Structure 1
Amino acid sequence: MIEAVKFWNEPNNKSHWDFEIDSDWQLYANMVKMAAAAVKAEKPDVLRVLGGISPIDPYFITRLKDFGTFNDLNAVAVHGFPLDWNHWQLEHWPEKIAEIEAVTHLPVWVTEVGVSTFGAEEVQEFGLRRTAELLCGRVDRVFWYSLYDLPRAWEATTRHREAEGSSYYRHFYMGLLREDGTPKLALKHFSDYTPEFGICQWFHFEDHRLDNAVDWLKKLGVKRLRTGLSWADYLRPDAEKWFDRMMQKLDGFDLTITFCFTPEAKGIQPHHTSPPQKIEEFSDFCVEMMRRYA
């Protein structure tokens, strides 16, 4: 069921990893090395992937390579949103992939790419089709972000939230489906690109959308799904019950699972983006998840 695991999400983005604490990424590099070696020993057939980077930065990849981070990895991953947040254009996707290929021998996966409907649904419709033209056959894995819009009652994982203006609100309009589950214009095209195109859909703790999401993924012909198992959530009451239900429901998909988010009590600072006080505890969590679900 688990095809691949990713170690963290966007480690070079301060919304996901506090690099004021880990200013040279040495803690992150050591944490990934330890976790990748442990997962390899536990389940050697499961692919091991660097947490998808955003922005796409070859210098960051080179730094991690110099630390020996890639010794037990099978791929590196990138995230890109050129029609919403990046300072490069949609047509530059092949160049951005080539920049990373130039500094690593590992395959490059695109584990998040998407277009918001903040301005107009037609923008997402165009963006999906053009992105597929640029990336299908160019990289081994592509995951479209996302199936559902983020509910407006929730918070997006960013640093400054409403102070970011429209950049913040775009996070709530990335789905092919609206918050209420009704389709947007781009949805009718998505099955043209499956099963090569996967979907990245994060499920929150006890997410009410899980059952309907699985129904939609099957309708769309999705085979590859990326989601996450949160280390922070695993310390909640009844966490194993929720994890078991989610993973059982997702049986039948080729899963890429992201392990991320530090429990507040275990961080150098009490925040989910903080490096952990003991990096071996993250490794222990990864191994426990492999034993339970791989």
Structure 2
Amino acid sequence: MIEAVMLWNEPNNKSHWDPELDPDWQLFGDMAICAGQAIRAVHPTLPRVLGGISPIDPAFIRKMGERGVLDHVDVIAVHGFPLDWNLWQIHEWPAKIAEIRAVTGLPVWVSEVGVSSFGAEEVQHWGLQRTAELLVGQVPRIQWYSLYDLPRAWEATTRHREAEGSSYYRHFYMGLLREDGTPKPSLEEFARHTPAIGLCQWFHYEDHRLDEAVAWMKRLGVRYLRTGLSWADSFRPNALAWFDRQMEALCDFDVTVTFCFTPEHRGIAPHHTSPPLVKEEFAEFCAAMVRRYALG
């Protein structure tokens, strides 16, 4: 069921790791090494993926190599959204992959790629089509973000929020399905590329969309899924019951599980982007989840 575990999400993006608290990623590197070692101690073969980077930055990967982090992961992951947020064009995808391959011998996965339908659903449809042309067959994993639009009553996981202007609202229109569950034109196009292209879909704590999402993914022929188990959520009431339900529901897919989000009371600062006070606590969370869901 679990094909890989990912250590954090977008560690070089201020929306997910606070650069003021850790400006040179020393604390992140120490935490990632500790977690990588803890996972390997309980599971000798499970692939460990360095948290998908956004922006795609070879200098960050070189820094992780200098820190020794790349000795404790097995895969490098990248995230790209050239039609929405990145300062490069969609046809540059092969060059972006090559930039990372030039600084590491590890396999490179695209664990998030997507196109917002904020401006027009036709743009998303074309972007999906072009992404498939550029990436299928070029990397071992491609995970489209995402199956569902983000409900408008929720908040996007970003530090910038409304200060981003229209860029913030693009976060809410990344799905193949609208918030009400109706398909966009890109859904049918996506089905033409499964299982070569998988999905990245985050499930919030006790997410009401879980069972419907599983039904849609089976209908679409999805095999590869990336999702997350939140360290912060592990302190909620009945957290393990929710984690069990989520992972049981996803048992028919090859899942990459992302471990991330610092509990407010266990961070240097009270925020999910903060480095932890004690890096071993994050490592033990990772090891405990691997024991529970990869080893049974």
TM-score (norm 2): 0.99
Unaligned runs of 5+ in 1: none
The alignment partner of 2:259 has SS state of: strand
Whole-angstrom CA distance in 2 between matches of 1:127 and 1:276: 38
Task: Determine the C-alpha separation between the residues in 1 that align with 2:31 and 2:19.
Answer: 14
The Cα offsets for residues 83-114 of structure 1, whole Å up to 9 and x where unpaired, read as: 00000000000000000000011011000000
1:152 shift after superposition: 0.1
* C-alpha separation in 2, matches of 1:85 and 1:160: 13
Structure 1 residue 72, shift from structure 2 partner: 2.1
For residue 149 of structure 2, what is the aligned residue in structure 1?
149
Question: After TM superposition, where is structure 1 displaced by more than 3 Å over at least 4 residues in a row?
Answer: none
Aligned to 1:6: 6
Counterpart Cα distance in 2 of 1:102 and 1:215: 40
User: What is the rounded CA distance, in whole Å, between the counterparts of 2:21 and 2:32 in structure 1?
Assistant: 17
Aligned to 1:70: 70
SS in 2 for 1:154: coil
Please state if 1:278 is matched with 2:282.
no
CA-to-partner distance for each residue in 1:126-157, whole Å, 9 max, x for gaps? 00011001000111100000000000000001
Q: In the alignment, what sits opposite 1:240? A: 240
Structure 2 CA distance, aligned partners of 1:122 and 1:46?
Answer: 39
Cα separation, 1, equivalents of 2:56 and 2:81: 10
Give the deviation of 1:191 after TM superposition. Answer: 1.4
Structure 2 match to 1:139: 139
After TM superposition, give the deviation of residue 45 of structure 1 in Å: 2.0
The range that moved more, 87-96 or 69-78, is: 69-78
Q: Deviations over 1:207-227 (max 9, x none)?
A: 000000000000000000000
For 2:40, the aligned partner's letter is K
Letter in 2 for 1:164: E
Q: Establish whether residue 30 from structure 1 lines up as the match of residue 30 from structure 2.
A: yes
Aligned-pair identity in percent equals 69
Q: Which residue of 1 aligns with 2:120?
A: 120
Q: Which runs of 5+ in 2 are unaligned?
A: none
Q: Distance in 2 between matches of 1:73 and 1:244?
A: 26
2:266 aligns to what? 266
Q: Which residue of 2 aligns with 1:173?
A: 173
Determine the structure 2 residue equivalent to 1:213.
213
Query: Who is 2:56 aligned against?
Result: 56
Structure 1 vs Structure 2 CA RMSD: 0.6
User: 1:250 offset after TM fit, Å?
Assistant: 0.5
After superposition, the C-alpha distances for 1:61-101 in whole angstroms (9 at most, x for unaligned) are 00110000011211100000000000000000000000000
Deviations 1:160-215 (A, max 9, x none): 21111100000000000000100000001111111111100000000000000000
For residues 252 and 142 of structure 2, the distance between their equivalents in structure 1, rounded to whole angstroms, comes to: 18
Distance 1:41 1:266 in 2: 24
Partner secondary structure for residue 10 of structure 2: coil
The aligned residue for residue 291 of structure 1 is 291
**3-state SS of 1:70 partner:** helix
What's the CA shift for 1:43?
1.1
SS in 1 for 2:127: helix
User: Under a length normalisation based on structure 1, what TM-score does the superposition of the two structures give?
Assistant: 0.99
What is the identity, as a one-letter code, of the residue corresponding to 1:103?
V
For the residue of structure 2 that corresponds to 1:122, the secondary structure is helix
